[in-house]
Amino acid sequence: MSDEQPPVPQIARTRRVGPLEYRSIEGPLSAAVIGRVADLNEGLFGFGETATQLAGFFESRRRLLLCLALHNGDLVGFKVGFEAQPRTFESWRGGVHEEARRNGVARELMRMQHVWCQEEGFQVIKTTTSSDNVPMLIVNLQSGFEIVGSFVNRHKRLKILQEKWLVTSS
Ligand SMILES: CC(C)(COP(=O)(O)OP(=O)(O)OC[C@H]1O[C@@H](n2cnc3c(N)ncnc32)[C@H](O)[C@@H]1OP(=O)(O)O)[C@@H](O)C(=O)NCCC(=O)NCCS
């Protein structure tokens, strides 16, 4: 066995709400976890992103936080973000399996992410959402995000920029 062991993912927090278990994991992430996220990510978005591609993307980010929702052990939701700049966190992507929606899963994943960001000293959380993604925009607004701008991306889609400023003690 080599001296260099793969880093063990650090589980920051676990929370149970009825049949749902929520976990937040600070990077680096294990291949098994990334594989499960890649499957759900593909089912939700269909972008053709492989687990290997996602792993490379996650490894290139600093201070990554992955929040997961499990129903009887099955992954039904995830939310992932990372440090974009010092004290600025970018909430990058998330989603909830169709059959698990409208149960507060996205709201709880976001709450976990925001608590962690606050505890870790981040000042602001930023996120970008397509203008036609009304459910995500609503969850963001309900969770304290404000709309701060918009742009048209290279696929000619209107994107909405949202920010949430966190109250810090320092
Ligand atoms: C957006 C998404 C993550 C919301 O997940 P969810 O777990 O169903 O959301 P929640 O149950 O936490 O919703 C919280 C509140 O947001 C609002 N909301 C959520 N989905 C809504 C919808 N389709 N229509 C209207 N309001 C909605 C409601 O007020 C809801 O509270 P309520 O159910 O008590 O009325 C989910 O629809 C999804 O995975 N979409 C596809 C992936 C995606 O677009 N991800 C975002 C881009 S990265």
For ligand 1, whether the C-beta of 35 sits within 6 Å is no
Q: Could you tell me the pLDDT band of residue 10, with boundaries at 50, 70 and 90?
A: low
- CB-based burial, 93-121: b 16+ in 10 Å, e otherwise: bbbbbeebeebebbebbbbbbbebbbeee
**Mean pLDDT confidence for 73-78:** 96
Distance 105 CA to ligand 1 centre (A): 8
For ligand 1, whether the C-beta of 27 sits within 6 Å is no
Class of domain 10-165: alpha beta
Where are the domains positioned within the chain? 10-165
Which residue's CA lies nearest to atom 33 of ligand 1? 102
Q: Model confidence over 108-149: pLDDT tens digits?
A: 999 999 999 999 999 999 999 999 999 999 999 999 999 999
